[in-house]
């Protein structure tokens, strides 16, 4: 099946996705906002979007020594959509896709690389299309509502509002080229508009931004960055990552089992990076409970050994200190996240662990994906830096919906227009 497009298959997958529950990566419905004809507004600061995990398109070109199935392509003369082509979720397509998108980790060099014969690139750096919709058919909307709203305010796509997509398979410690391009893009946007800009990050994208800001001098940040708006940032990692690595999480994708998608989810260095941090959780909290052992954050090495993914331990060691201690970012901060939703903080398995789904859960407060302990770690920055730190909690706001929600978008608009009002203690309904 490879990467070929088939309208019938696409329609089947689209209809199935509409029935799928918990498909938190992206919204399968087209944008509800329409672009209006607005005169460009040069008074509001420019905006740069950094998406979350799996939040931008990827493309690949292949010339492989072998293939995992006779129906998979072995060689292409052009780059094709790797993430996301909805055809890839069909039974045969999923095997081709996993073999193309996987990374290979080398324990000796502590570096990752693409699968043999596969070249992967991130299209549209500096443009918004690659984060507005994750597929070329514009079925999987992500930042489209946000960008369309900004355009209706007078922003111009790819000028005053831009995006910095990245290879979300790879953690920041191997992203030197990306961060150099990100810095250059920020400086170019500053030169164009002659004013500092806002960085808008979602989910893991905010962790990327935080790491980037740690690498810059305070003088550079004061010159180029007006503020940092984070939406649903897992500052202290996410408990859900342990379940993903252990038994997989198909995210509601029909026709694909959790165990099958686990193959791909273990082939990134960002998932081990997002294991719960010590800043968020006590040492004795049990994240994974099985009949034979209870796993806390002190047991990560045993966890990776027991799930037969020992490379994960080395990946975690490589990335565990990238934002160690969570020092403040050194820029004005707007930290927004959802609360009031049941969010798993312990996964309970039977003796089939790790090759079967959890049989029960222990819940705490959060946004249905990340717990509020992790989301709220930005509160510790108050009083720790010269710049203000604004925190706003949105009641019953799911992890993905925070990017699409009109109330959140309107609050972002108020920041850009300089009329944001502090409501730290108020939960927005």
Give the active site residues.
Answer: 203, 367, 399
46 with 161: CB under 8 angstroms? Answer: yes
Distance, first Cα to last Cα, the chain:
46
153 with 413: CB under 8 angstroms? Answer: yes
Phi, psi of 9 (to 5 degrees): -65, -40
- 279 by Cβ neighbours in 10 Å (0-12 / 13-18 / 19+) ranks as middle
Going by their DSSP bridges, the two strands 288-289 and 294-295 should be labelled as antiparallel
Sheet holding 118-121, edge to edge: 80-83, 58-62, 118-121
Name the strand (E) or helix (H) holding 409. Answer: helix 406-416
- CA angle 86/87/88 to nearest 5° reads 90
Q: Return the closest-CA partner of residue 80 out of 131, 124, 119.
A: 119
Q: How far apart are CA 241 and CA 263, in angstroms?
A: 14
Q: How far is CA 313 from the centre of its chain?
A: 21
Structure-token pair, residue 193: 């508009």
Structure-token pair, residue 124: 């549209």
Q: How far apart are CA 99 and CA 81, in angstroms?
A: 14
Q: Return the DSSP state at 72.
A: S
Q: How far apart are CA 186 and CA 199, in angstroms?
A: 9
Please provide the DSSP assignment of 274-305 as one string.
TSPPTTTS-TT--SEE-SS-EE-GGGHHHHHH
């Amino acid at each position: 099946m490879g990467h070929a497009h088939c309208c019938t298959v696409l329609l089947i997958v689209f209809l199935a996705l509409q029935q799928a529950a918990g498909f938190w990566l992206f919204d399968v419905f087209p944008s509800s906002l329409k672009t209006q004809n607005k005169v460009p507004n040069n008074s509001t600061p420019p905006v740069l979007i950094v998406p979350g995990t799996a939040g931008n398109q990827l493309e690949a070109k292949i010339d492989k020594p072998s293939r995992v199935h006779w129906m998979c392509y072995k060689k292409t003369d052009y780059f094709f959509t790797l993430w996301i082509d909805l055809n890839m979720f069909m039974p045969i397509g999923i095997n081709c896709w996993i073999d193309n998108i996987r990374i290979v980790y080398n324990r000796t060099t502590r570096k990752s690389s693409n699968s043999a014969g596969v070249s992967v690139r991130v299209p549209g750096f500096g443009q918004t299309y690659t984060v507005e919709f994750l597929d070329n058919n514009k079925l999987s909307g992500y930042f489209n509502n946000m960008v369309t709203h900004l355009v209706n305010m007078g922003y111009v796509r790819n000028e005053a509002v831009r995006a910095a997509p990245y290879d979300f398979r790879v953690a920041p410690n191997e992203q030197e080229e990306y961060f150099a391009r990100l810095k250059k893009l920020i400086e170019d946007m500053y030169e164009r508009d002659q004013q500092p800009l806002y960085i808008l990050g979602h989910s893991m994208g905010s962790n990327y931004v935080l790491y980037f800001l740690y690498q810059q001098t305070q003088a550079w940040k004061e010159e180029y960055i007006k503020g940092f708006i984070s939406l649903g940032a897992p500052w202290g990692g996410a408990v859900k990552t342990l379940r993903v690595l252990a038994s997989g999480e198909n995210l509601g994708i029909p026709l694909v089992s959790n165990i099958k998608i686990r193959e791909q989810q273990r082939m990134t260095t960002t998932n081990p990076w997002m294991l719960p941090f010590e800043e968020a959780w006590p040492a004795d909290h049990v994240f994974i409970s099985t009949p034979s052992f209870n796993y806390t954050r002190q047991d990560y090495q045993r966890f990776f050994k027991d799930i037969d993914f020992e490379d994960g331990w080395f990946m975690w060691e490589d990335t565990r200190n990238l934002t160690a201690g969570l020092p403040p970012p050194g820029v004005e901060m707007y930290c927004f996240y959802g609360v009031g939703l049941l969010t798993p903080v312990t996964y309970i398995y039977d003796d089939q662990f790790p090759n079967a789904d959890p049989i029960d859960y222990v819940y705490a407060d959060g946004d249905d994906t990340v717990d509020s302990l992790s989301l709220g770690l930005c509160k510790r920055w108050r009083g720790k830096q010269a710049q203000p730190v604004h925190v706003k909690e949105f009641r019953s706001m799911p992890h993905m919906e925070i990017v699409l929600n009109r109330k959140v978008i309107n609050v972002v608009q108020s920041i850009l227009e300089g009329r944001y009002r502090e409501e730290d203690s108020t939960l927005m309904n």
